[in-house]
Chain A
Amino acid sequence: MTNFLQATFAVFRKDITAELRSREIIFAMMVFSMLVIVIFNFALELDPATRKEVTSGVLWATFAFAGTLGLNRSMAVEKDRGCLDGLLLAPVDRSAIYFGKVLSNLAFMFIVEAFVLPLYSALYNVNLFNPGLLLVILLGSIGYTAVGTLLASMAVQARTRDVLLPILLFPIAIPVLLSAVKASTGFLNGVEMAEIWPSLNLLIVYDVIFTAVAFMVFDAVVEE
């Protein structure tokens, strides 16, 4: 067990050290999120009332797209230099590698989200600093990253991985995204907690299921 946690943390720490040095992944994700936000708002030509309606949809679309970018890059780093083999050769349960990658992908997601929220607030004059919304973002990102990391390790084997990941990931992640959008809208519009609970519960259930499934099948996915 200590070996398992040590390996998980080693993978996480390695990713963060490398990213702090190159800043490749986070920079790409940030630029991309910024473009998505701006384009959505131009394209939808919103008056302030409708803008409020679509805010959570735009936010989650941004997170989802930026997320696939990060998931792909972070797995490509492993694959292209053969490092994935190096990880798989370590004498630890391979799910430790999966959890390590989930942690670093999650960290990248959180950093980008921490950049997007104030940016969106400032550009469109909506207050997004709502504790409920932050909770939804936490839960939604966990589910999305849990399933995304697993699928990225499948997609990375293919030459068409950049297209393959969204094609695999979006349909499977739809339940997470729908519940997240619903709960976010609820919190932003100050709806009664009783109405938000179902979506919040669903998010928690998906987080648990996706993590458990990925834990079980990761080994089979990465072996030839």
Chain B
Amino acid sequence: MIEVKKLIKRFGMKSVLRGVDFRVERGEFVALLGPNGAGKTTFLRILSSLARPSLGEVKVAGYSLPNEAAQVRARLGVVSHMPLLYGDLTAQENLEFYARMYGITEYAIRITEVLDMVGLASRRNDLVRTFSRGMAQRLAIGRAVLHDPEVILFDEPYTGLDQDASSMLDEVLKSVAAQGRTVVMTSHDLARAEDLATRFDILTRGVIAASSSREALGSNNLLTFYKQALAA
């Protein structure tokens, strides 16, 4: 579903990604872990066609970037730590707007479905500026799955959420992943990553330094694996 070979990304003189090789099969849920500034956000922005690779090959859902970006975007949902929503529009209006941008026809039913899924049906006519961080984040997830994407990228979806909001988000994330979608999520919350993901990749010093499936991790816990990868 995702295939990245020898990806290099430079900002001016600074190399952030120095040859990332990354492969994700359909239906996998990959947690992308790594210290601050490792380049996780940069990597997801390249996968989502918001940033251009400096060098290397990137394929998402069978289409290569940057040349077939529109085809990739049609099959991709993105949740970043910013909600990508308009405060002066209601939840319903925000989703209607994005439905039109994605060329979804008959979107009324789909929007109701999505609002139900993220538990915001009763707040559909409220302005998004009146939403709490947790509600906005749930709506952001609704926005990202509106067009039923095959691949979803989450960049630290738990940032700024309290316990209740986080466990509600757990449920939403699980139901999103359960529908056979391919998911890549960055997070600093190892416990959550361990709970949700089927594979753990560590991005540090510009490369994927280690990768392990949930099974291969065995009785080792994720924290030990993570620390070993950083120390190596």
Contacts and interface: CB of A to CB of B under 8 A. Distances in A.
Interface of A: 3, 6-7, 9-11, 13-14, 17-19, 21-22, 77, 81-83, 85-93, 223-224
Contacts of B74: 91
A76 B189 CA distance: 32
Contacts of B73: 89-91
Interface of B: 45, 48-52, 70-71, 73-74, 76, 78, 80, 82-89, 93, 97-98, 100-103, 127, 143
B89 A14 contact: yes
A82 B103 contact: no
Nearest to A90: B101
A73 B80 CA distance: 23
The dominant DSSP class at the A interface is helix
B71 A223 contact: no
Contacts of B101: 7, 10-11, 87, 90, 92
Contact of A85 (B76, B84, B87, B102): B84
Given A7-B100, A90-B73, A14 B86 contact: yes
Contacts of B98: 86, 90
A221 B51 CA distance: 11
A1 B179 CA distance: 32
Given A85-B78, A91-B71, A91-B73, 14 more contacts: A10-B101, A14-B97, A18-B86, A81-B82, A82-B82, A82-B83, A82-B84, A88-B49, A89-B48, A89-B50, A89-B73, A89-B78, A92-B103, A224-B45
Given A6-B100, A90-B102, A224 B51 contact: yes
Contacts of A14: 86, 89, 93, 97
B70 A91 contact: yes
Contacts of B84: 81-83, 85-86, 89
A96 B80 CA distance: 23
B52 A81 contact: no
Nearest to B101: A90
Nearest to A100: B101
Nearest to B87: A81
A156 to B, nearest CB: 14
A22 B50 contact: no
Contact of B86 (A81, A92, A223): A81
Contact of B52 (A9, A10, A223): A223
A155 B217 CA distance: 48
A85 B80 contact: yes
B70 A82 contact: no
Nearest to B147: A91
Contacts of A90: 73, 98, 101-102
Contacts of B85: 81, 83, 86
Nearest to B46: A224
Nearest to B74: A91
A90 B49 CA distance: 10
Contacts of B143: 86
